[in-house]
């Protein structure tokens, strides 16, 4: 696993680095600030980002939000700040696991595994939610087109649906595309 380390604290990360390298991980880069985080991620393509901070600053959280929007990936934050406000802010920024303690080299591997599993689960749920929203939008588009056909040609709902369906089959085009084209044509 490729790991990008962001060291935003005054602690030595040498024990953690040694554990990660000994476990066969490739530690891609150790940076002292999140200012260039997106560039580093684009350049190194890590599998996970590990952040060590005394307390997540607004700048750190903003950079994590940008990273999450452009290139979501599992992120683990170790912080001495155990306030619920910091934990919520970090998870809202995309952190998969927030550990309110200094890095403990002995538990690093399981923490990374949990963060990666949680990230994958959340990504799958996001994809399912996006697909459901897409289907709902398509149904709404088809229903609107049916209504327009019904009004324009004095058709029943079933007849309007069959016309859309037949047009979709004749043109080998998804029904939602046919509905969209019909709505555009009727709007002109």
**pLDDT tens per residue, range 33-78:** 677 788 888 888 999 999 888 888 888 899 899 999 988 999 999 9
Q: Which of 32, 136, 130 is nearest to 72 (CA)?
A: 130
Radius of gyration (C-alpha) of the chain in whole angstroms: 25
Distance CA 104, CA 37 (A): 24
User: Which parts of the chain are beta strand (E)?
Assistant: 2-8, 26-31, 48-53, 75-79, 97-99
Bridge partner residues of 76 (DSSP): 50, 97
2-103 carries CATH number 3.40.50.2300: yes
The 10s digit of each residue's pLDDT in 66-113 is: 999 988 999 999 998 999 999 999 999 999 999 988 777 778 888 999
pTM: 0.73
Please calculate the CA angle 59-117-73 and round it to the nearest 5 degrees: 35
The C-alpha atoms of residue 95 and residue 97 are separated, in whole angstroms, by 6
For the segment(s) 129-187, the CATH number from 2.60.40.150, 1.10.10.10, 3.40.50.720, 3.20.20.70 is: 1.10.10.10
């Amino acid at each position: 696993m490729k790991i990008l380390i962001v060291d935003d604290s005054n602690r030595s990360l040498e024990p953690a680095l040694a554990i990660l390298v000994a476990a066969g991980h490739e530690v891609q880069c150790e940076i002292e600030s999140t200012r260039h985080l997106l560039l580093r991620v684009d350049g190194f393509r890590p599998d996970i980002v590990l952040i060590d901070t005394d307390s997540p600053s607004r700048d750190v959280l903003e950079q994590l939000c940008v990273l999450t929007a452009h290139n979501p990936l599992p992120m683990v934050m170790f912080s001495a700040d155990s306030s619920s406000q910091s934990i919520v802010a970090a998870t809202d920024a995309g952190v998969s696991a927030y550990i309110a303690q200094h890095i403990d080299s002995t538990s690093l591997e399981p923490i990374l595994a949990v963060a990666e599993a949680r990230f994958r689960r959340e990504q799958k749920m996001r994809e399912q939610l996006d697909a459901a929203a897409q289907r709902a939008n398509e149904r709404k588009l088809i229903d609107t087109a049916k209504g327009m056909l019904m009004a324009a040609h004095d058709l029943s709902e079933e007849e309007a649906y069959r016309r859309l369906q037949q047009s979709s089959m004749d043109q080998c085009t998804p029904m939602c595309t046919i509905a969209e084209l019909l709505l555009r044509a009727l709007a002109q």
